[in-house]
C-alpha cells in the first residue's frame, strides 16, 4: 500500500501522540483525508465521516480479521443480529438495571478520600467500569481483578503493536467467557436469569447462536465498555476540576448533566476511532480510493469540526445533539448508548452529591492516553467532601 501512496502524516509521531486532539485539529484543515502506513486513510472532517456512516454499501464495516458480532458486519447479516441485541438496551432493560447502576455509582464514589488526592482513571474510572459491566452481565465480583489485569496487559500490547500478545490475550478473554457459558450450561434450569444466560438462549433466523457468536457479542460489549466508560470518567472528572464555574452550575442544576456529559465527551473523545473498508472505487474529500482500501474514522476530530460546531472547545449546553457523533450514527450507531448514558449520569450525579469541590493537583497535570486510546492515562485530582 505504501508504495502507491504518499505519506501525508505520521500518526505515531511524538508530536501527534503527545496531544492527539491538537494534531487532529491541525490535520482537519491541512489534509482532511490523509494517508499513512499505520492507519491507511484517515478521515478528519465531520462531513466526510457522515458520508461514510450513511453509505454502508460503499464503506463496509467488515474490516476485522476476526468474527465480530455485529460490529464488523453489514446488512442483512448485521440487521439480524442488531434485532437480537437492541432489546438488551431498551427502556425496560434500563429501568430494571437502574437501581443497581445507581448503587454501584454511589459505592465507587463513596471510596473517595474525605479530603485528599485521587487518581481518577484507576481509582474511579476503571473501578466503576469493571463493577458496572460485571453487574450488567451477571458476572461474579471475583472477575474484577482478573479483568483489571487483563485490560492493563491488553493496553500495553496495543501500544507496543504486539500482534502475538494481542492474539494470546484475545484467546485468554474468550476462555473466561467460555467458562461462564459452561457454568450456565451445567446449571441448566438453575442458571441465573441474567444478560449472559439470555444471550445464550437467543436465536437468529430460527437457529441457536453458535458459541463463537455468543463469545463475540459478549467480548464486544465488555471490552468496549471497559475502555470507553473508564476513559469517559477520567475526561469528565478532569474537565469539571478544570472548569469550576461549570462544576458549580451542575451542582446547582442536575438537569443540565446529560447535555454537559455529551458535550464534554464531544470535545474530548473517549473513543478515538473506528474502521471501514471500501467495496468499490470512490472519491471522498477530494481523494480517490480504490476497492479494498482501509479507512480510519477519527471521532476525536469529526466531533470537533469547526464547520459544524464552531469553536471546538466551546462547551454549549444548548447544542443540538443530532450532530454529536459520540455514539456514532447511521445503522451502526452504538446500541449500548442508553446504558452508557445512564451509567455516566449516575456516576456524575453521585460524584456531585458526595463532594463539595474537585480541583486539579498543582504541578501534576493529567497525562494524555496514547492512540488508540482516548482521554487520559492519569488524572490526579484533589477532592473535598
Question: What is the per-residue pLDDT across 100-148, written as a single tens digit (0 to 9) for each?
Answer: 999 999 999 999 999 999 999 999 999 999 999 999 999 999 999 999 9
What structural domains does the chain harbor?
Answer: 14-384 (1.10.630.10)
pTM: 0.95
Instruction: Give the C-alpha separation, 213 to 66, whole Å.
Output: 11
Tell me: pLDDT of 244 over 50: yes
Q: To 10 degrees, the CA torsion angle through 377, 382, 383, 384?
A: 180
pLDDT at res. 4: 62
Instruction: Give the C-alpha separation, 222 to 119, whole Å.
Output: 23
Q: How confident is the model at residue 3 (pLDDT cuts 50, 70, 90)?
A: very low
Share of the chain above pLDDT 70, in %: 99
Omega before residue 178 within 30° of 0, cis: no
Tell me: pLDDT of 165 over 60: yes
- Mean pLDDT calculated for residue range 178-187: 94
Nearest to 104 by CA among 64, 69, 76, 137: 137
Q: How confident is the model at residue 223 (pLDDT cuts 50, 70, 90)?
A: confident
DSSP 8-state secondary structure symbol assigned to residue 271: B
More confident residue, 26 or 370: 26
Amino acid at each position: 500500500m505504501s508504495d502507491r501512496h504518499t505519506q501525508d502524516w505520521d500518526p505515531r509521531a511524538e508530536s501527534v501522540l503527545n496531544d492527539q486532539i491538537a494534531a487532529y485539529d491541525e490535520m482537519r484543515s491541512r489534509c482532511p483525508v490523509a494517508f499513512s502506513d499505520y492507519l491507511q486513510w484517515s478521515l478528519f472532517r465531520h462531513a466526510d465521516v457522515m458520508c461514510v456512516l450513511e453509505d454502508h454499501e460503499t464503506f463496509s464495516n467488515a474490516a476485522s480479521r476476526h468474527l465480530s458480532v455485529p460490529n464488523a458486519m453489514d446488512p442483512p447479516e448485521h440487521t439480524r443480529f442488531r434485532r437480537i441485541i437492541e432489546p438488551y438496551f431498551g427502556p425496560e432493560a434500563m429501568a430494571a438495571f437502574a437501581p443497581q447502576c445507581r448503587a454501584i455509582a454511589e459505592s465507587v464514589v463513596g471510596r473517595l478520600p474525605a479530603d485528599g488526592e485521587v487518581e481518577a482513571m484507576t481509582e474511579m474510572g476503571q473501578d466503576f467500569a469493571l463493577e458496572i459491566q460485571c453487574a450488567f452481565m451477571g458476572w461474579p465480583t471475583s472477575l474484577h481483578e482478573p479483568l483489571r489485569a487483563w485490560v492493563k496487559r491488553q493496553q500495553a500490547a496495543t501500544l507496543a503493536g504486539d500482534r502475538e500478545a494481542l492474539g494470546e490475550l484475545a484467546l485468554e478473554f474468550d476462555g473466561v467467557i467460555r467458562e461462564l457459558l459452561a457454568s450456565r450450561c451445567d446449571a441448566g434450569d438453575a442458571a441465573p436469569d441474567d444478560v449472559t444466560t439470555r444471550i445464550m438462549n437467543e436465536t437468529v433466523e430460527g437457529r441457536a447462536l453458535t458459541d463463537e457468536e455468543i463469545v463475540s457479542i459478549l467480548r464486544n460489549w465488555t471490552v468496549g465498555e471497559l475502555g470507553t466508560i473508564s476513559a469517559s470518567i477520567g475526561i469528565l472528572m478532569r474537565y469539571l476540576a478544570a472548569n469550576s464555574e461549570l462544576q458549580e452550575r451542575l451542582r446547582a442544576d442536575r438537569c443540565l448533566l446529560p447535555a454537559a456529559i455529551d458535550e464534554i465527551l464531544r470535545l474530548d473523545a473517549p473513543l478515538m476511532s473506528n474502521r471501514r473498508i471500501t467495496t468499490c472505487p470512490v472519491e471522498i474529500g477530494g481523494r480517490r480510493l480504490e476497492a479494498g482500501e482501509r479507512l480510519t474514522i477519527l471521532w476525536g476530530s469529526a466531533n470537533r469540526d469547526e464547520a459544524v460546531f464552531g469553536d471546538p472547545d466551546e462547551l454549549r449546553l444548548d447544542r443540538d445533539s443530532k450532530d454529536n457523533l459520540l455514539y456514532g450514527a447511521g445503522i451502526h450507531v452504538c446500541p449500548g448508548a442508553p446504558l452508557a448514558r445512564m451509567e455516566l449520569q449516575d456516576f456524575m450525579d453521585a460524584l456531585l452529591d458526595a463532594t463539595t469541590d474537585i480541583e486539579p493537583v498543582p504541578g501534576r497535570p493529567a497525562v494524555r492516553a496514547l492512540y488508540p486510546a482516548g482521554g487520559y492515562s492519569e488524572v490526579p485530582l484533589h477532592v473535598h467532601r
